[in-house]
Amino acid sequence: MTNSFNHNIQAAACGTSRIVGCRFSLFPMSDRFVPIILGALEQTDTSKVWVQSDDVSTCVRGRHEHVFDVVKSIFLQAAKSGEHVVLSATFSVGCPGDTEGDVFMSEDDVRLNEGNKTSVDTAAQFALYPMGVPHYMDVIYDAVKAAEAEGTFSGGIHYASRLDGTAQQVFRSLENAFVTSSTKTSHLVMTATISCNSPSAKPEHVQRKGE
């Protein structure tokens, strides 16, 4: 993202921290779930984000570049197992009083896990929640239109929108939707459920497009 884009994000702060956070849980559908989860965490460079894990979920905080880089890497590392993997995540920016981990906002924008180019057919269902703005539906519609232009939007469903493509494409659309929407509201929440290697994936939803 450009410096001007980052500036716009900060300008929408309304006095709150612009640290981005994500709390997620990883679900490998396998009796090898322990080594898959721990391996995905260990093989991802998290040195540019604040990290805290417990027996339910993992939380990462920092610049949006690094938060999305880390979450995507963990998903890709787990996907390499070939097992059906689901990641359930909640992203947030501008939460009042959310300053823990602010020191990581001084990091540069270099993504440490970009070398992982794993390509796997991926589906996601995501929902945006722009807080405190009367035009919140316009923010959501704009994000959907952007995903349509990117070729990943594959339809609306109850309480969410669906994305399909490679993992790289899906995460790119999720990040673009989150970052662009965050410039239009002081507090934004995005939920996402991301799946790959599903035995029940519908052929009409599988998209095999070039990067």
DSSP-derived secondary structure letter, 102: G
Assigned token pair, 206: 């599988």
Say if residue 117's pLDDT is above 50: yes
How big is the CA angle at 168 (ends 116 and 77), to the nearest 5 degrees? 40
List the CATH code of the domain at 8-98+114-205: 3.30.70.930
Separation between Cα atoms, residue 41 and residue 143, nearest integer Å = 30
pTM here? 0.87
pLDDT tens-digit profile of 29-85?
Answer: 999 999 999 999 999 999 999 999 999 999 999 999 999 999 999 999 999 999 999
User: Structural domain boundaries of the chain?
Assistant: 8-98+114-205
- The Cα-based distances of 144 to 3, 7, 52, 162, 164 in angstroms read 24, 23, 31, 9, 13
Query: What does the pLDDT read at residue 45?
Result: 98
